[in-house]
């Protein structure tokens, strides 16, 4: 199978971790490295204002003009950038300003080497599954995309939620408990893992449905192919729908949450030699005997 490559490597569009003006000097150093390799750097407007620059550009213009996008921060910054830029289908590179992340895996001291490899085609573009969903209300649809997960949860700690679930319009289960997680393989190591769900190889195309504090011991995580359509509703009570832990919606009783696998996945730029299982061992301490 032929690996996807960038058509050209001339312009990089940067988005910086929000509320972190101290990252300015890091951005300046990285910008110099990109420019030294002949790659022009664009900076989104809100990031530019945060670090005291006046040369930022509109986000849509950034996505249109850039050959690839760069997230400077951590996994949360990259996740947000992937979701917001999804309709432009531009590959996203994660430069981690902290420790090694699951998604943003290029560290600051690896930038020079990565750029050298990028310019000679030694890199990978991984396509990660996205969720294409909407909430059907009496007034129409509220559409969204999710990269990690969609979570239905109770609006208050004193109430248990009841969630009716159908697959391809056929009822199959009613969940009772604190909530339900519908995760992509990328999101398997996020809330899904904390709730007892399985780890999945990130390039798999599947949904993971994991109940949160289920009221019955018979409820277990379920893995489904991504070409199924999942419908979820709360028959009597209002619930909260969280998208990637970053956006939330109130879903009223009788409204329907519809989950589909997006036709096109998100594209992440990675080091050619990146090994997902090595990242798992480092982040989750797999194999430790002490």
Question: 148 with 43, same domain?
Answer: no
Q: Is the pLDDT of residue 290 over 70?
A: no
Running DSSP on this structure, what letter comes out for residue 199? P
Question: 248 with 278, same domain?
Answer: no
Question: 164 with 257, same domain?
Answer: yes
Q: Is the pLDDT of residue 49 over 50?
A: yes
Can you say how many angstroms the Cα of residue 168 is from the centroid of all Cα atoms in its chain? Answer: 25
* E strand or H helix at 144: strand 140-146
CATH code assigned at 226: 2.60.200.30
Please tell me the total count of domains within the chain. 2
Question: Considering the chain, what percentage of its residues have pLDDT values greater than 70?
Answer: 96
Question: 94 with 135, same domain?
Answer: no
Are 221 and 207 spatial neighbours (Cβ–Cβ below 8 Å)? no
Q: Binning pLDDT at 50, 70 and 90, where does residue 287 land?
A: low
Average pLDDT over residues 39-52: 98
206 closest CA partner among 221, 191, 184, 233:
184
Question: 156 with 206, same domain?
Answer: yes
Question: 121 with 83, same domain?
Answer: yes
**What 3-state class would DSSP assign to 55?**
coil
Instruction: Write out pLDDT tens, residues 87-115.
Output: 999 999 999 987 656 788 899 999 999 99
Q: Report yes or no on 4 lying in a domain.
A: no
Query: In the chain, helix, strand, coil percent, each to 5?
Result: 25, 35, 40
Domain range for 234: 131-261
Question: 82 with 55, same domain?
Answer: yes
Are 182 and 228 spatial neighbours (Cβ–Cβ below 8 Å)? no
Please say if 288 is a catalytic residue.
Answer: no
Q: Report yes or no on 224 lying in a domain.
A: yes
CA distances to 86, 135, 170, 200 from 248, in Å = 19, 12, 27, 25
Q: Binning pLDDT at 50, 70 and 90, where does residue 159 land?
A: confident
Instruction: Write out pLDDT tens, residues 251-260.
Output: 999 999 999 9
| Catalytic residue selected from 75, 105, 126, 178 | 75
* E strand or H helix at 96: strand 92-96
Q: Report yes or no on 6 lying in a domain.
A: no
Question: 67 with 186, same domain?
Answer: no
Average pLDDT over residues 192-220: 92
Sign of CA dihedral 245, 12, 124, 115: negative
Question: 121 with 136, same domain?
Answer: no
Torsion angle in degrees (nearest 10) through CA of 115, 117, 120, 126: -100
103 closest CA partner among 241, 271, 281:
271
Question: 156 with 105, same domain?
Answer: no
Kindly report the number of other CB atoms within 10 A of residue 185's CB atom: 23
- For 170, phi then psi, to 5°, come to -115, 120
Q: Is the pLDDT of residue 1 over 50?
A: no
């Amino acid at each position: 199978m032929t690996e996807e490559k960038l058509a050209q490597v001339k312009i990089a569009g940067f988005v910086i971790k929000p509320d972190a003006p101290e990252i300015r000097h890091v951005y300046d150093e990285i910008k110099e490295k990109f420019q030294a390799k002949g790659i022009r750097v664009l900076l989104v407007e809100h990031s530019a204002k945060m670090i005291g620059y006046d040369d930022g550009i509109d986000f849509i213009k950034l996505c249109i003009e850039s050959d690839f996008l760069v997230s400077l921060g951590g996994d949360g910054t990259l996740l947000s950038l992937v979701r917001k830029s999804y309709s432009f289908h531009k590959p996203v590179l994660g430069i981690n300003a902290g420790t090694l992340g699951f998604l943003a895996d290029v560290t600051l001291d690896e930038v020079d080497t990565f750029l050298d490899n990028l310019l000679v085609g030694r890199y990978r573009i991984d396509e990660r599954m996205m969720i294409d969903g909407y909430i059907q209300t009496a007034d129409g649809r509220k559409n969204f995309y999710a990269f990690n997960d969609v979570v239905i949860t109770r609006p208050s700690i004193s109430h248990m939620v009841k969630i009716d679930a159908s697959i391809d319009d056929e009822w199959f289960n009613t969940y009772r408990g604190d909530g339900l997680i519908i995760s992509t393989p990328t999101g398997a190591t996020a809330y899904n893992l904390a709730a007892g769900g399985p780890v999945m190889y990130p390039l798999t195309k599947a949904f993971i449905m994991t109940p949160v504090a289920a009221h019955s011991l018979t409820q277990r995580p379920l893995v489904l192919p991504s070409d199924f359509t999942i419908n979820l509703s709360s028959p009597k009570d209002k619930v909260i729908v969280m998208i990637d832990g970053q956006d939330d919606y109130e879903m009223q009783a009788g409204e329907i949450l519809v989950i589909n696998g997006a036709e096109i996945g998100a594209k992440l730029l990675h080091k050619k030699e990146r090994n997902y299982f090595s990242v798992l061992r480092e982040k989750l301490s797999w194999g430790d005997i002490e």
